[in-house]
């Protein structure tokens, strides 16, 4: 074959080229994020509404006993903070996937996918870029929450970072997998109703699972099978410098499964090919 090809000075790609590509994708995502100030503000307002209004009202109804990782009685606001951090990432992951559907319609996804680098790597870079954006949002939330007396140990701000990266990747990969099956933007409202809300409410984000078990054993099992529960618990423990090994295993496993699924779905010989012509062109 080598005698009948042109331009094959090198085959494969150097480590430097992979890094340049990753930087470029993250840099573009950050630039776009900065240009969408409303997106940042709404990403911040959503959890703050829960914190300032919902938690304040709920505080009297729901007493929290001492459960790990907490060592003292805590206010309800303190309990739901990790759940709200995970919620930020859940919305961000879904919004990144919304932008992929949008990109695909606008053709930007096409420029990404004709890059010569391996497609799986390109999608992974896209996921990392989305996760980086979610980290900005979560830390901005933590800063505001600090003034609301949600003050985890200082080291917690550092130890929560790896947990946030992993859970951000999981949410992003899940969104990407879902986006590969969506043809039009309109369908995304359905995703909000059928994915985001059930995942958020059937989890330990708003109430400890032992409380759920008292009320409905059935719901308790649903919550335990919900990957979002484990993302919340992973973040909750990491924020207090601890590791919840079961949650870590579940989140890591789900990340892997969703990511492989998304890469498979965006493989030209499978996912996109089944969709037919984009935008009605042929």
Nearer to other proteins, 19 or 143 (CB): 19
What residues between 186 and 225 interact with other proteins by CB under 8 A?
A: none
Q: Give the residue from 73, 48, 47, 49 showing the smallest Cα distance to 62.
A: 73
Please tell me whether residue 23 binds other proteins under the rule CB under 8 A. yes
- For residues 37 to 66, the per-residue mask of contacts with other proteins, x marking binding by CB under 8 A and - elsewhere, is ------------------------------
Nearer to other proteins, 6 or 66 (CB): 6
Provide, rounded to whole angstroms, the least separation between the CB of residue 111 and other proteins.
5
Please tell me whether residue 184 binds other proteins under the rule CB under 8 A. no
Contact 251, 231 (CB under 8 A): yes
Q: Give the residue from 248, 213, 207 showing the smallest Cα distance to 230.
A: 248
Distance spanning both ends of the chain, measured CA to CA: 33
- For residues 104 to 143, the per-residue mask of contacts with other proteins, x marking binding by CB under 8 A and - elsewhere, is --xxx-xxxxxxxxx---x---------------------
Q: Is the peptide bond before 69 cis (omega within 30 degrees of 0)?
A: yes
User: Would you list the DSSP string of 88-142?
Assistant: HHHHHHHHHHHHHHHHHHHTHHHHHHTSSS-HHHHHHHHHHHHHHHHHHHHHHHH
Provide, rounded to whole angstroms, the least separation between the CB of residue 192 and other proteins.
25
Taking CB under 8 A as the binding criterion, the range among 62-70, 87-95, 174-182, 262-270 that sits at the site for other proteins is 262-270
Give the residue carrying structure tokens 């951090």. 85
Nearer to other proteins, 32 or 211 (CB): 32
Please tell me whether residue 174 binds other proteins under the rule CB under 8 A. no
- Cβ burial of 276 (10 Å; 0-12, 13-18, 19+) is exposed
Taking CB under 8 A as the binding criterion, the range among 27-35, 72-80, 128-136, 202-210 that sits at the site for other proteins is 27-35
Q: Cα-flanking dihedrals φ and ψ of residue 103, to 5°?
A: -60, -40
Contact 259, 173 (CB under 8 A): yes
Provide, rounded to whole angstroms, the least separation between the CB of residue 139 and other proteins.
24
The Cα 225–Cα 238 span in angstroms is 20
Q: How many residues bind other proteins (CB under 8 A)?
A: 49
Nearer to other proteins, 43 or 78 (CB): 43
Chain residues in the site for other proteins (CB under 8 A): 1, 4-9, 11-14, 16-18, 20-21, 23-25, 27-28, 31-32, 35, 106-108, 110-118, 122, 267-270, 272-273, 276-279, 281-282
């Amino acid at each position: 074959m080598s005698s009948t090809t042109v331009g094959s000075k090198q085959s494969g790609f150097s480590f430097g080229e992979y890094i340049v590509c990753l930087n470029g994708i993250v840099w573009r995502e950050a630039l776009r994020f900065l240009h969408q100030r409303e997106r940042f503000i709404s990403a911040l307002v959503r959890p703050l509404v829960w914190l300032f209004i919902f938690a304040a009202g709920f505080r009297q109804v729901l007493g929290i006993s001492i459960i790990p990782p907490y060592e003292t009685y805590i206010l309800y606001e303190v309990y739901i903070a990790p759940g709200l951090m995970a919620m930020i990432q859940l919305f961000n992951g879904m919004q990144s996937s919304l932008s992929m559907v949008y990109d695909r319609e606008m053709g930007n996804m096409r420029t990404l996918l004709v890059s010569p680098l391996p497609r799986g790597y390109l999608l992974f870079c896209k996921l990392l870029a989305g996760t980086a954006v979610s980290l900005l949002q979560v830390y901005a939330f933590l800063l505001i929450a600090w003034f609301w007396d949600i003050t985890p140990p200082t080291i917690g701000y550092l130890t929560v970072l790896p947990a946030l990266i992993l859970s951000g990747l999981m949410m992003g990969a899940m969104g990407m997998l879902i986006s590969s099956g969506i043809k039009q933007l309109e369908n995304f409202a359905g995703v909000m109703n059928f994915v985001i809300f059930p995942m958020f409410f059937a989890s330990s984000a708003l109430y400890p699972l032992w409380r759920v078990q008292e009320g409905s054993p059935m719901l308790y099992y649903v919550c335990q099978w919900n990957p979002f529960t484990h993302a919340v618990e992973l973040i909750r423990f990491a924020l207090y410098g601890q590791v919840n090994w079961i949650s870590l295993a579940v989140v890591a496993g789900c990340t892997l499964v969703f990511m492989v699924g998304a890469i498979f779905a965006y493989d030209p010989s499978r996912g996109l090919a089944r969709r037919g012509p984009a935008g009605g062109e042929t």
